[in-house]
Structure 1
């Protein structure tokens, strides 16, 4: 039976039975052939009847790898790519499309929507926050808009947490590891006042680590990439009858991250045509008396930044909200309503240069906040007839605002040196500030419908249609201020103002108001055929999209940039085969896909004459992604579980003739990126892992009276080389390439056979591989090359107790 394209349905249908819930959810859609299956086995098989590629991360995998958020889960899903620079500037892509960055596209949420328990999370910063009581991840490939929720271009991510239970219980998990990593999770669930119709679940978490990157300066040996997070999630489940369930959810999360330090790895002194880079890094460093310690940061694991000019880099974010999820069955019809409000706030505290120990910048921050409300109301016809129909409407409202600041330091004039007059440079740049504010309000209304025609027992067809009407208004304003230059002549004062504007890429003051009304029509046609009960082939065409809107962001919109971003639209073609054999001990799924993307929404940048950049958003005319994916799970013997996920993904621009140039080609006014690869999309990627359980058949004397099991397993993920840049000076730059790399994780330990406790030792990046997550070709406007490093070897242990 085909059911998997629904949003909220995808969670509840796989989780309800195993958690002992009797709530009136969509559990009836699941056919569980073995009543003794574990939750993870049900999760792994639940999407085998869905005619589209899908990857599931089960509860067993979550516990084995100590996964607490979406970033950690990404490595288990080839074809899914995540870029993380900081909490706010991160992006999640599937098959190359989704979102290129999170900072400047305030009008356009990601084309890969993320849902937690069926609730849409519109802003990228929430994906790094820990989620208590995680039970599973489902990644569905291809546009998903015709089944509800937000519009999508290439897929969606569904995250599930544990439901309230009518059986009382508690769970405590405590972990400790490298760099003083500490993690505590606690949850309690049970009936309310001994009732048989009301239950609760309360989940709390907290985690901390000191940070694994060190300053080289003994005067202030600051640590970076440290983290402190905390949060709470409360749920109430009301089931007054077998036909009605009401789920109330409230949550709050807070994250503090001492991040965003970049390690240097080299300097570009000549452009690609051999022409010397004027005013390059070495020349600037000599002017300010700075001698870099090294250009091989990944070998040193420390940084030149001292934090002398304030508290040092850091950022905080908070996210919270509430939801009411109602399921009501009447005469075979299923009514669902998911109503939610969400809040997200980000604050950065980058009170010094985060690249080198030169006082060029005291701050470079944006502080966005988002308030949103959503309603997804749908009704589904009774099952069992020749046609199943689900229809509904998704309404989304959001107010996004951001306060932004760039503040030069005491050495900015010497560093940039845009003129030969030191006095003019000093007045123009030292202590100069840019303050700006941007706002985008959004109202979307999206009716949708999806029908499944059961032509025969073996053959089915699915049809879907959706239309979104979007009203958006955007406003941006800003000023650039600095020293008055009272001692300069009138001509030099005017020159100083001109220099200041040229370096910041904006006039002394500006404001813009832009509104847009856009419509987006998407659809789906799919056919599936069961050759045998365990072998299904399918073919799917889906037209997806991502809404555009006013082109406002934290910076000035330069002349020639489009004021309204066009809608991005994708045509997705997929064929695949899903199989189970050897008495369901082996699952093997394969899919081939082609995605044609028009008006690809991408951040771009103009490199100014002193090397600084001004960033905004544009539509690349066309891009394409094509490839294939393999998803394999096997249990060759009862004690051993193995998995393999692999993908080949050729994603590139098919038309972008007038694109911004990478730094090494910035002697040109524009570059032709047609045929060039998209960033953050490795051509080859795979993950493979296993776990072996050995029932010792013995108790632990004086510790535990029942039998225990020993378990051990490796998990290895690898990706080929990829471009990591997103803005103009980094996109398709040879200096932004991240070499191919693999990461090995290990876990093992003891667990009680009755599930009451579990002791797991773990090592992440067990081989201590040094690698970059992101590289840039133009730090501090000088051709300095560097990037954000990945996490080193982290090891520890976690003890979990259920009672």
Structure 2
């Protein structure tokens, strides 16, 4: 790339550095070192370049015309952001919601995946990459980061440089690489709730041409919710990770790296607490209060922040993700040819309580899955005086097998069957009723992509990109239904007992499949307005590929599956963005701004019909959604003794057109309105419910209009344990305004905004020792990560409280 002009002068900041050092009481020996030369003073206090690989080559984050947040290993360790869930407290444009590892949403700017229960039949809109390897299972976001060097959160479509097409952004994780010098790091943390975390990484040479690196991470913690039925503390942590790398460099121009990783979770997870109830349009005797009273049931607490639950089904979130990758980099002529070959596997062994209460309504709910994924990527990256380019090819092949079981218990008849039906009083009707589901998904994606960067002048650069994609998906779903006596139902039975059972589970077979070609493109223009000031503008036409309904099809009024709902149209994405990247005060201050608008047609939404028999939501196309907003990232480092940051995001994300959405609970459960009938007012017992609801103009779920992250750290030179170093005090805060926790906004599922504060204080020696104490959610704020609408339109609202105040201490040594 054409060289950029100098970023200011070192001399201009030298006097300021000396004055600040004196004002902050820096010892005389430090002041004399600053006074040695003006250049060295400015070098010590200036903000150094943050190098990123967002465009598949190493370059300064301030030089790329792209909105990207960079979190390095030191910030990750200091703030306890050891997985993506905690990363969102540092990156306000990132949203993370998880009711269990499989049902996890990672969104950027409110976009990525539809909010709610996950289906295997659609792609993620936010790609997760670890050292160039695409992780298709979003469950990987719930694991601990392992030996990470830095994380880049890229905002906006990333299709012309990255292996898999992503419409909302990417999380690009770079790990520490094998070294030919012996080095390592060890860390241990202890805290309340029996929190224990240990990390170890060691790297060094095996020969003159071979180096190795091995890393380990283990995290455990007691749960934060007490189950009064089992005596267990649920929502615990039990994570284990191993990563081994072998690097062979037979020549300066050739690097071959083999990587293997294994990650396991075995937590007592995942459950919920009682949040409250809301009136629906079901008859009054079929709403939560009446149904609970009829069986003499009351939740253990009506205050969700008592953190008590009474779930009576076994909970488990057994989860293993592992893989192998071979990366080859060969310098060929003026560029580098890269090949990344990877295999990944995922084994998911869940058990849940799907009725969200202590009654034996649903006594067994589990959908274990196994996935195998193969990817192959080739790239050639060229860097010239005025032209850079990357061209590549990507292949993805995936198979997922799922075996589902859901079983009802003796309390289900009274809870599920209409009280007007005499069978509702017979617990044997639904006791033992079991649905056994078999699913298979095969998915293939092939792509050619490329991006050119042309420096027309020293200041003005054009960057066009292009991607051609082919996708094919085929699925199979079968549900077989068995009574408590073991007899299989065919679905054609007409006796009253069988009809009551078929009202819960009905046999079904479907085999949706589809394929699609798609051509997408983007264009970015950037202009260096002044040294250290870069303006840019981007237009991108992107897409999310076809989806299929892999968890069974919705049924018509006669209970028959709707075959036309088997496949889902691809999303079409139009993305506009303008931004400004700037540094001043000799690069001690960084201020980056971005404004964006993303329009999506045929948005792939998740729909739940509220019945016990639906184990997962099904997919449908909403007409159009839009996300637009403004983001600002600010950091300042006036001296080596102080640094601060503040990041902000305003996101206005809404359904522009969704006229046939599922209704929120306050408008559901009544008699379906006939043509010409006027639906009843929300929450009218026994009322008339619309068949569908028009939620056009309402906010997308899971996204706050306002989100902020902010923090500072100050230090002072001292000596401790005979070691020279610095004592430090740090603070990190975050705020998110209210958001909706249901696909169709409901007054019952709005989550209030909340603010979290984290503090740390410790000693950091010059030779790599770090000792500090920490407290997270220091003011013990009560907040929800999610709330859920209970099945059956009874008006039950359950939820998942966020972590309470936690505290502990960490010791680490780097050598």
Structure 1 length-normalised TM: 0.89
Summarize the Cα distance change of 1:607–1:786 in structure 2 as closer, same or farther, 3 Å threshold.
closer
Residue aligning to 2:260: 250
Residue aligning to 1:658: 660
Summarize the Cα distance change of 1:556–1:661 in structure 2 as closer, same or farther, 3 Å threshold.
closer
Q: Does 1:124 align with 2:141?
A: no
Q: Does 1:761 align with 2:783?
A: no
2:153 to 139, 150, 153: 139
Summarize the Cα distance change of 1:318–1:445 in structure 2 as closer, same or farther, 3 Å threshold.
same
RMSD of aligned residue pairs (Cα, Å): 2.5
Q: How does 1:231-310 map to 2 (within 5 A)?
A: 231-271=241-281, 277-298=284-305, 300-305=306-311, 307=312
CA distance in 2, matches of 1:621, 1:353: 31
1:96 to 110, 113, 118: 110
* Equivalent residue pairs, number: 743
Partner secondary structure for residue 289 of structure 2:
helix
Summarize the Cα distance change of 1:614–1:143 in structure 2 as closer, same or farther, 3 Å threshold.
closer
Q: CA deviation at 1:406?
A: 1.0
Q: Judge conservation of contact 2:515–2:546 (CA < 8 Å) in 1.
A: no
1:596 to 574, 579, 599: 599
2:704 to 671, 679, 682: 682
Partner secondary structure for residue 356 of structure 1:
coil
1:742 to 750, 755, 770: 755
Summarize the Cα distance change of 1:748–1:482 in structure 2 as closer, same or farther, 3 Å threshold.
same
CA distance in 2, matches of 1:783, 1:187: 50
Residue aligning to 1:401: 401
What do residues 602-631 of structure 1 show as CA deviations (whole Å, max 9, x unaligned)? 1102245x9978731111111000110001
Partner secondary structure for residue 185 of structure 2:
strand
Partner secondary structure for residue 152 of structure 1:
coil
Residue aligning to 1:78: 92
1:571 to 568, 571, 574: 574
Residue aligning to 2:55: none
1:226 to 227, 236, 240: 236
Q: Does 1:670 align with 2:673?
A: no
Q: Does 1:716 align with 2:733?
A: yes
Residue aligning to 2:35: none
CA distance in 2, matches of 1:297, 1:561: 41
What do residues 617-655 of structure 1 show as CA deviations (whole Å, max 9, x unaligned)? 111111000110001111022211111110000000111
Q: Judge conservation of contact 1:427–1:482 (CA < 8 Å) in 2.
A: no
1:790 to 791, 802, 812: 802
Residue aligning to 1:18: none
Partner secondary structure for residue 146 of structure 1:
coil
Residue aligning to 1:392: 392
Q: CA deviation at 1:103?
A: 4.5
More displaced stretch, 338-347 vs 289-298 = 289-298
Summarize the Cα distance change of 1:637–1:669 in structure 2 as closer, same or farther, 3 Å threshold.
same
Q: CA deviation at 1:439?
A: 1.3
Residue aligning to 2:329: 327
1:112 to 118, 121, 126: 126
CA distance in 2, matches of 1:503, 1:354: 13
Partner secondary structure for residue 429 of structure 1:
coil
Partner secondary structure for residue 126 of structure 2:
coil
Partner secondary structure for residue 569 of structure 1:
strand
What do residues 273-312 of structure 1 show as CA deviations (whole Å, max 9, x unaligned)? xx864501111112212123332112x122233x4x5xx3
CA distance in 2, matches of 1:473, 1:412: 35
CA distance in 2, matches of 1:126, 1:618: 25
Residue aligning to 1:213: 225
Q: CA deviation at 1:465?
A: 0.4
Consecutive unaligned residues in structure 2, runs of 5 or more: 4-40, 53-58, 556-560, 669-688
What do residues 392-448 of structure 1 show as CA deviations (whole Å, max 9, x unaligned)? 101111011211111111211122233521378545412111110111111111001
Summarize the Cα distance change of 1:749–1:563 in structure 2 as closer, same or farther, 3 Å threshold.
same
Summarize the Cα distance change of 1:210–1:39 in structure 2 as closer, same or farther, 3 Å threshold.
farther
Residue aligning to 2:675: none
Residue aligning to 2:785: 773
CA distance in 1, matches of 2:284, 2:173: 48
Residue aligning to 1:545: 543
Summarize the Cα distance change of 1:556–1:408 in structure 2 as closer, same or farther, 3 Å threshold.
farther
Q: CA deviation at 1:185?
A: 0.8
CA distance in 2, matches of 1:278, 1:662: 20
Q: Judge conservation of contact 1:268–1:277 (CA < 8 Å) in 2.
A: no
CA distance in 2, matches of 1:711, 1:42: 23
Q: CA deviation at 1:554?
A: 5.9
Q: CA deviation at 1:495?
A: 1.9
Q: Judge conservation of contact 1:607–1:613 (CA < 8 Å) in 2.
A: no
Partner secondary structure for residue 259 of structure 2:
strand
Q: Does 1:456 align with 2:462?
A: no
Partner secondary structure for residue 359 of structure 1:
coil
Q: CA deviation at 1:90?
A: 0.5
CA distance in 2, matches of 1:245, 1:783: 60
Q: CA deviation at 1:326?
A: 1.2
CA distance in 1, matches of 2:348, 2:104: 13
Q: How does 1:515-530 map to 2 (within 5 A)?
A: 515-530=513-528
More displaced stretch, 374-383 vs 405-414 = 374-383
CA distance in 2, matches of 1:287, 1:452: 70
Residue aligning to 1:30: none
What do residues 302-330 of structure 1 show as CA deviations (whole Å, max 9, x unaligned)? 2233x4x5xx3121100000111111112
Partner secondary structure for residue 61 of structure 1:
helix
Q: CA deviation at 1:452?
A: 1.1
What do residues 56-109 of structure 1 show as CA deviations (whole Å, max 9, x unaligned)? 112221121122222111211111111111111001111111012574421212
Q: CA deviation at 1:549?
A: 3.0
Partner secondary structure for residue 413 of structure 2:
helix
Residue aligning to 2:6: none
Residue aligning to 2:25: none
Partner secondary structure for residue 50 of structure 2:
helix
Q: CA deviation at 1:660?
A: 0.8
CA distance in 2, matches of 1:618, 1:566: 9
Consecutive unaligned residues in structure 1, runs of 5 or more: 4-32
Q: Judge conservation of contact 2:423–2:429 (CA < 8 Å) in 1.
A: no
Q: Judge conservation of contact 1:520–1:567 (CA < 8 Å) in 2.
A: no
What do residues 497-542 of structure 1 show as CA deviations (whole Å, max 9, x unaligned)? 22222223xx2x2211122111121111010000112001010001
Q: Judge conservation of contact 2:336–2:382 (CA < 8 Å) in 1.
A: yes
CA distance in 2, matches of 1:212, 1:550: 37
CA distance in 1, matches of 2:125, 2:465: 18
Residue aligning to 2:439: 438
Residue aligning to 1:364: 365
CA distance in 2, matches of 1:270, 1:501: 24
Residue aligning to 1:471: 472
Residue aligning to 1:562: 565
CA distance in 2, matches of 1:285, 1:424: 14
More displaced stretch, 678-687 vs 557-566 = 557-566
1:695 to 717, 732, 736: 717
Q: CA deviation at 1:367?
A: 1.2
